[in-house]
Amino acid sequence: MGMGMRVRSGMLKAGGLVLLVAGWAVGAGAQRAQAGAASGAATPHHAVATRPTAAATPRRAAAVPMVAATPPMGWNSWNYFAGKVTDKDIRDTADLLVSSGMRDAGYVYVNIDDTWEGARDANGKIQSNEKFPDMKALADYVHSKGLKLGIYSSPGAKTCARFEGSLGHEEQDAATYAEWGIDYLKYDLCSYSGVMRAQFPNDPAAQNKMMREAYEKMHQAIVKTGRPMVYSLCQYGWDSVWEWGPQVGANLWRTTGDISANFDRMSLIGRGQAGLAKYAAPGHWNDPDMLEVGNGRLTLDENRTHMTLWAMLAAPLIAGNNLTEMKPEIAAILMNKEAIAIDQDALGRQGDRVFADGPVEIWAKPLKNGGKALAIFNFGETASEMRGIGLHLKEAGLPAHVTARDVWAAKDLGRIGDDYKVTVPRHGVVLLVVR
Ligand code: GAL
């Protein structure tokens, strides 16, 4: 939808905000131990801790509940169902999240993306359309399964699929979401970029200021409801959102334009996250977009690469496949406990690239137990013999020899060093946990 217009802004600008964020992230991590139940069912992966808002003093901050202490996990309707999603699809998905074991693996948010919106009533209150006859009843159903419900809107008058947006109704919409029992809001810029341009035709800085204010406005509206909701920004990474996302209450922010279910697009997005690690911490995450695992024609190796890359990035794991036809090998990828544990590691540190040689890239992610996840990717077209390339343990900040486990092979490797030989298949990955 209008993707041609979505240009990604520069990625690596440093900001004073980072230090501020890092400062309180440590406290937030420590407080994760006090996790309690959020609305709906609590899971170990989505503990509620406390955190300061960016603007708050430390004392006031301690009382603000934190969602997304670890990267949110769940499912979203867009990547597979797009504009066709119905109430029944959401109920079926909720059932299947439970019966497949995905809920218990951590996938607790069931997120309705664009096209649920109906007209506003005489009082301006948003209604769901005929595809969603009773949103409150749907929320009750999803909650009864120990899951949480997410919804979608835009700061513009229209969403990207040209349904009703929240412009001029922000508080009212947030209150309606709270009344329905919504736990997660994805707020997609869409037509608001036109409002920004119309207001300040030749002034990108003023347009960006308007954008931040629009996101802050909905943040305040959510806070006013008193209901904890994960706040997910979707504005394609414009204006280096990672530098100011936490200031407008974002728990996650899209860093790119839309993903699609093909290897080139997925890997381009994933690899493009290099350098953003310092912006992620408990409560706020870089979001390289929702998973396409199990969609399109991605091969098993490509699906494993996708899951691995997202886990290394501490990315939100929001599945986007049709669970009614999920194959066992796809379920095994989405529910690989060790890959999920890397993503959800309590330290909350995003991984980064430590070595690249053409299509071979090695990424490392620090883990709470002092170890590291080490992913050796082969983005190239032929199987890569690692002999001669080495594991590059030094670049990953590791000693010459480490104790390693191969996650996808589910195999302990014992002590290994740089001379460890491994063949990484075309478009594939070897994922190690070392210490
Ligand atoms: C796009 C967004 C997608 C999806 C779509 C719905 O802007 O990036 O993830 O939400 O809008 O119309």
Which tens digits make up the pLDDT trace of 303-349? Answer: 999 999 999 999 999 999 999 999 999 999 999 999 999 999 999 99
Backbone angles phi, psi at 286, to 5 degrees: -70, 140
CA of 291 to the centre of ligand 1 (A): 13
What is the CB-side half-sphere exposure of residue 26 using CA atoms within 13 A?
Answer: 5
Q: Is the pLDDT of residue 375 over 80?
A: yes
Q: Would you state the pLDDT for residue 50?
A: 36
Q: Would you state the pLDDT for residue 77?
A: 98
Q: Would you state the pLDDT for residue 35?
A: 27
Q: Is the pLDDT of residue 96 over 70?
A: yes
Q: Would you state the pLDDT for residue 385?
A: 66
pLDDT bracket for residue 390 (50, 70, 90): confident
CA of 188 to the centre of ligand 1 (A): 7
Q: Is 188 in the pocket of ligand 1 (CB under 6 A)?
A: yes
Q: Pick the catalytic residue from 92, 258, 406, 418.
A: 258
Q: Pick the catalytic residue from 188, 239, 301, 352.
A: 188
Q: Is 82 in the pocket of ligand 1 (CB under 6 A)?
A: no
CA of 320 to the centre of ligand 1 (A): 13
Which tens digits make up the pLDDT trace of 171-185? Answer: 999 999 999 999 999
**Spatial distance between the Cα atoms of 143 and 148, rounded to a whole number of angstroms:** 6
- Give the atom of ligand 1 at the shortest distance from the alpha carbon of 152: 10
- Give the atom of ligand 1 at the shortest distance from the alpha carbon of 189: 7
β-pairing, 73-76 vs 317-319, is parallel
Mutate to test the pocket of ligand 1, among 5, 75, 77, 78 (most ligand atoms within 8 A of CB): 78
Domains of the chain, first to last: 3-343 (3.20.20.70), 352-434 (2.60.40.1180)
Mean pLDDT of 223-248: 98
Which tens digits make up the pLDDT trace of 398-415? Answer: 999 999 999 999 999 999
Catalytic, 419? Answer no
CA of 114 to the centre of ligand 1 (A): 7
**Cβ distance 67 to 48 under 8 Å?**
yes
Please state, in angstroms and as integers, the Cα–Cα distance from residue 61 to each residue in 58, 65, 70, 225, 232, following that order: 5, 9, 19, 17, 20
Mean pLDDT of the chain: 87
Q: Is 114 in the pocket of ligand 1 (CB under 6 A)?
A: yes
Mean pLDDT of 249-265: 98
Q: Would you state the pLDDT for residue 66?
A: 75
Q: Is 19 in the pocket of ligand 1 (CB under 6 A)?
A: no
Give me the helices (H) in 38-169, please.
Answer: 58-61, 78-81, 87-99, 102-105, 135-144
Q: Is 189 in the pocket of ligand 1 (CB under 6 A)?
A: no
Q: Is the pLDDT of residue 62 over 60?
A: no
pLDDT bracket for residue 59 (50, 70, 90): very low
Q: Is the pLDDT of residue 11 over 80?
A: no
**Cβ distance 25 to 342 under 8 Å?**
no
Percentage, residues of the chain above pLDDT 70 = 84
Please return the burial class of 98, using the count of CB atoms within 10 Å of its CB with bins 0-12, 13-18 and 19+: middle
Q: Is the pLDDT of residue 285 over 90?
A: yes
- Give the atom of ligand 1 at the shortest distance from the alpha carbon of 289: 9
Who has greater pLDDT, 54 or 119?
119
Mutate to test the pocket of ligand 1, among 164, 254, 258, 289 (most ligand atoms within 8 A of CB): 258
What single letter denotes the amino acid at residue 266? M
Q: Whose CA is nearest to atom 1 of ligand 1?
A: 160
pLDDT bracket for residue 388 (50, 70, 90): low
Q: Is the pLDDT of residue 4 over 70?
A: no
